[in-house]
Amino acid sequence: MRKPKHSPGLKLMIMGICLIGIFLFSLLLGRYAVPFADVLRILASVVIPVTKTWSNLAENMVLLVRVPRICTAVLVGASLSVAGASYQCIFSNPMAAPDLLGASTSAGFGAALAILLGCSSFVVTGWAFTASMLCLLLVLFIARLGKGSVTLNLILAGIMISSLFQAGTSYLKLIADPNNTLPEITYWLMGSLSGMTMKELGYVWIPITIGMVPIFMVRWQMNLLTIDDMEARTMGVSTSRIRVLVIICSTLLTAAAVSVSGIIGWVGLVIPHIARRISGNDCRYLIPASALLGGSFLLLVDDLARNLYSTELPLGIITAVIGAPFFIWLMIRERIS
């Protein structure tokens, strides 16, 4: 890969500015128009006294409807992208994605089971998150029992457990009420951020922060995962511990993101490749670049989902329509690495 012409720090700054711009632009989009000046005043009124020149409806629309959804889109996009980039680094596999160890499919099973039992949306989110974390524990347990390469065992265990959860979800859809429950399960599995509230946002940022901070702290050590373990130990780095830590944190990010948004594919696979082309292979810059690009990308996708037609489109459909052709173009243009 060619050496970047500009410093990675400058590129990260530009990506951060773009994310802020997309964030403010997204606040203007919706069925109810709110002038940009009013949006800025409403946001400012949260922290400083501002003379009220806007209606209560505009304030509620911005603070209670759009801000929670937009913030969640940024967090989910950043989480999936960082998880995908981390998996690609620690497994040295450009095709690694956040669902490599079955986090998404297990979350889908947990959510489908909760919906089938008639649980509230908050409980559905909790069941999805719990099922995803249980899947991680099961995969780690099976990988430790297997002989040979731990990395290969993790991948194989993830594939097998993911298939089991997928089969379980298919069975739940088979026995679900086709008039009410089945459409709800299907729509959840396709991904959506509709109905997000400040309360749900308050819950989701906690596990995302817990998963994101350690990855950012050890991202410079992740560069050493591609070299021999003995050589890494001479540099004072335990690659096995770093690998386990990153796997746990990446799965936590995926579980938190999927539990609140449903299954959204391609973000964790495509965005890290774009970030790698911009910032290079150095994880010190690749991880934050993936977070910024992932948040911006999913925010734009959510803007399309809620404004393209009169009825909202599932996010998973849009990310697949955008991600799959782009990945094909990336494969044809140059070798993926």
Confirm whether 81 is domain-assigned. Answer: yes
pLDDT by residue for the chain (337 residues), tens only, comes to 445 566 888 999 999 999 999 999 999 998 888 999 999 999 999 999 888 888 999 999 999 999 999 999 999 999 999 999 999 998 888 888 888 899 999 999 999 999 999 999 889 999 999 999 999 999 999 988 877 777 788 889 999 999 999 999 999 999 999 999 999 999 999 999 988 888 888 889 999 999 999 999 999 888 887 666 666 666 666 777 888 899 999 999 999 999 999 999 899 999 999 999 999 889 999 999 999 999 999 999 999 999 988 889 999 999 999 988 988 887 777 665 5
Domain count, the chain: 1
Confirm whether 152 is domain-assigned. Answer: yes
* Residue 73: per-residue pLDDT: 97
Pair 124, 115: CB distance under 8 Å:
yes
Confirm whether 22 is domain-assigned. Answer: no
* Residue 224: per-residue pLDDT: 80
The whole-model pTM stands at 0.92
Confirm whether 127 is domain-assigned. Answer: yes
Pair 276, 212: CB distance under 8 Å:
no
Confirm whether 291 is domain-assigned. Answer: yes
Please calculate the CA angle 296-297-299 and round it to the nearest 5 degrees.
65
Q: How many C-beta atoms lie closer than 10 Å to residue 7's C-beta?
A: 11
Residue type (1 letter), 3: K
Each residue of 288-320: pLDDT tens digit? 999 999 999 999 999 999 998 888 999 999 999
- Sign of CA pseudo-dihedral 243, 254, 140, 170: negative
For 71, phi and psi rounded to 5 degrees?
-65, -40
Pair 299, 78: CB distance under 8 Å:
no
* Residue 1: per-residue pLDDT: 43
Pair 1, 337: CB distance under 8 Å:
yes
Distances (CA, A) of 314 to 114, 193, 194, 204, 325: 20, 9, 9, 20, 18
Q: How far apart are CA 164 and CA 158, in angstroms?
A: 10
Confirm whether 323 is domain-assigned. Answer: yes
Distances (CA, A) of 273 to 6, 80, 266, 299: 18, 13, 11, 18
* Residue 2: per-residue pLDDT: 46
* Residue 7: per-residue pLDDT: 85
The alpha-helical segments, DSSP class H, found in 177-282 are 181-190, 198-217, 229-234, 239-261, 267-279
- Beta-carbon contacts of 59 under 8 Å, excluding residues fewer than 6 positions away, are 42, 45
119: left (phi over 0), alpha (psi -120 to 50) or beta: beta
Q: Which CATH number belongs to the domain containing residue 301 in this structure? A: 1.10.3470.10
Q: How far apart are CA 196 and CA 209, in angstroms?
A: 18
Confirm whether 55 is domain-assigned. Answer: no
Distances (CA, A) of 7 to 4, 78, 178, 197, 200: 7, 22, 55, 38, 38
Confirm whether 241 is domain-assigned. Answer: yes
* Residue 217: per-residue pLDDT: 94
Matching residue, tokens 């001479």: 234
Domain that holds residue 124: 71-333
Each residue of 45-55: pLDDT tens digit? 999 988 888 89
